[in-house]
Structure 1
Amino acid sequence: MKTSELKISPGIIWISSVVLGILSSVPQLAQHSFNMTEAVVNAILTSAFAIIMWYVNLFVFSWYRKRSPRKQTSSRRLFITFGIGIIIMFGLAWLQQLILTHINFGPVMLMIEVRGLLINLICYTILHLFQQNFENRRITIQLEQMKNDNLAAQYELLKQQVNPHFLFNSLNTLKSMVENGEKEAVGFIIKLSKFYRHTLETRKLDLITVKEEMEIVQAFLYLQKARFGEGFVFEQRLETASFTSLIPPFTLQLLIENCLKHNIVSEEQPLHIRVYERDGRLILENPIQLKSGDHHSLGVGLENIRLRYRHLTDKQVEITDDSCTFKIKLPIIYEDPHY
């Protein structure tokens, strides 16, 4: 999500600055020798200083936020704005001395500098409170968005896991095996029940180990072998360490199902599917041999996987399609971000 910048209405900046300028001249009304010129000059310079410091603080806040977006407080930021304020107020005090030459520069400058520090502190405090409120609202919106994305991904995942088309094909295959008296029918039923048991056990989990995911894949491949025979070849080249890493459940199974769904699978033209690790990513690849009329897939399964990874990690799912080979690269996760 793109981070928006903290903004303050120009009306608030100018009106508050003018009010501060007027208030700074109020004490002069109590003096016996009230001088209108002094009061006006003092109000104008104070208002100008307040306006400048509003924008200086906004710039410093924005600059620090881009450098350290997670760091909300900084004493260095406060000292920088104070230092800039002192220099600006000194210049304005010198300008006041040029306009009102009869005023003793020393005591007046000290009073103006103290006033400048107070105005700067007011601007800084208000902006800090605005920023905290801004950050809290932004985080709340992000959390709600992530929650909605996760719920949508879980719902889509459940719909794809309990796929009526997949169940229909599996039952048809089982029917044919039973009618032909094949001994593998019992094993097929066991694998099918095991696959749906995994569905029920893991559908509420964000992550499982790659070892557990491969058990789901093996049960799924067994069911597909009964349907496609030698029409596809699955090759797994994962290192031992990869099996302890984490992955959203049914990720590889969904990707393999996509491969079988969109590509030609036949004994004359077997589909080769490989899973391996490289550069800190799990990679699933297959040659592109699309079925006729399947060039405009909606990619619902891939979008589902993207959503779940976006919920779990900052790393992106990468997809490579060079018209010959299709590769999807999944970030390897070693720690559950929710614990």
Structure 2
Amino acid sequence: MGVLASVPKIAERHFSASEALVNSGVTFLFALFAWYYNIYTLPAYIAHDKNKGLSLFRLMRSLLLGLAVMFLLAYVQQLLLSHLDFGPNMLMIEVRGILINLTFYMFLHLLYQSHQNQQVGIELERTKADNLGAQYEMLKQQVNPHFLFNNMNTLKAMVETNDEHTVDFILKLSDFYRFTLESRKHDLIHISEEIEILNAYMFLLKARFEDGINLVNTVEPQYNSSLIPPFTIQLLIENCIKHNIVSLDHPLEIRLYTENEKIIVENPIQLKKSQEFSTKVGLENINQRYIHLLNQKIDIEANEKIFKVKLPVIYEYYNH
């Protein structure tokens, strides 16, 4: 900027090295001030105005301060080159200062907006990757090989004993996997659809454990139109079976109910003697989906007797 400002002086017929040098120095000092001032005020701009676009107040403040600084520099120039006419010379320098300040302000703003767009793009890619990972983990847990293996064994036993519920079992198993294929395409489904999935899942479990497992569902009908990530409750019940004894001697009663705008899955703690290694991926998966969709975490409460998972109710409209 300093060199560019001295070009007109150099091009004059009566070239004065001292005038060109002082003129260039004044412009250089002001450009240095304007550049670092705009950078220095950028953090405050990011913190307060990142969603407001160009800040008119910040621009005017920068221009006014720039005018004051440039006036001081013009006065210094007048002291060094007293033969120059201060009025026209000062006006020319002030105009130059405004143009430099505007150029730097617009350039840094453009740079900042570009940075923000990159950050948004990175965040979208990260969210997409997290969502795909969550869907993959959900799918792995839904099409659990052990679950399929156990159901095939149950079906084999039912066929061998000519159980009258064999056809119903096959239909429910088919329904459950159909739900799996359909629901995994969506981020959210209605509670009524989730309960339909749950009923098919519980039928399969009852065929295997008989009265060793029971689900008491007291969710009020008013919540049927609210939303939930698919297979959330099914994963929680699968988690209950994984960690607790399920038998006719020690039946596992799972409660599903609502309280304070939360859907609660509750089960008594009757831990198996040989505990399976828990990575807690299932609960973390559910938690991450709620953070992504609702910006809220699930609540987990546990004591010596009861284990509860509380899921925030999701409504289709935020102004519910």
Within the candidate set 122, 127, 135, 1:141 is matched to 122
Distance 1:98 1:124 in 2: 30
Q: 1:253: which partner in 2?
A: 234
Using structure 2 for the length normalisation, give the TM-score: 0.85
Q: 1:28: which partner in 2?
A: 9
Secondary structure of the structure 1 residue equivalent to 2:254: strand
Q: 1:334: which partner in 2?
A: 315
Q: 1:113: which partner in 2?
A: 94
Q: Does 1:198 align with 2:191?
A: no
Aligned 1:303-318 pairs, distance under 5 A:
303-318=284-299
Distance 2:78 2:218 in 1: 81
Q: 2:104: which partner in 1?
A: 123
- Shifted more, 141-150 versus 159-168: the winner is 141-150
Q: 2:198: which partner in 1?
A: 217
Q: How many residues align?
A: 318
Aligned 1:78-117 pairs, distance under 5 A:
78-117=59-98
Distance 1:135 1:57 in 2: 17
Contact 1:262–1:291 at 8 Å: present in 2 too? yes
Distance 1:277 1:110, change over 3 A: farther
Aligned 1:231-242 pairs, distance under 5 A:
231-242=212-223
- Shifted more, 262-271 versus 191-200: the winner is 262-271
Q: 2:35: which partner in 1?
A: 54
Per-residue deviation, 1:257: 0.8
Distance 2:41 2:71 in 1: 20
Using structure 1 for the length normalisation, give the TM-score: 0.81
Amino acid paired to 2:46: R
Contact 1:208–1:246 at 8 Å: present in 2 too? yes
Contact 1:285–1:326 at 8 Å: present in 2 too? yes
Q: 1:294: which partner in 2?
A: 275
Per-residue deviation, 1:336: 8.8
Contact 1:65–1:71 at 8 Å: present in 2 too? no
Distance 1:279 1:79 in 2: 50
- Shifted more, 140-149 versus 320-329: the winner is 320-329
Q: Percent identity?
A: 52
Per-residue deviation, 1:170: 1.5
Amino acid paired to 1:75: L
Distance 1:336 1:168 in 2: 41
Q: 1:173: which partner in 2?
A: 154
Contact 1:207–1:249 at 8 Å: present in 2 too? yes
Per-residue deviation, 1:280: 4.0
Distance 2:26 2:16 in 1: 16
Distance 1:292 1:189, change over 3 A: same
Per-residue deviation, 1:287: 3.7
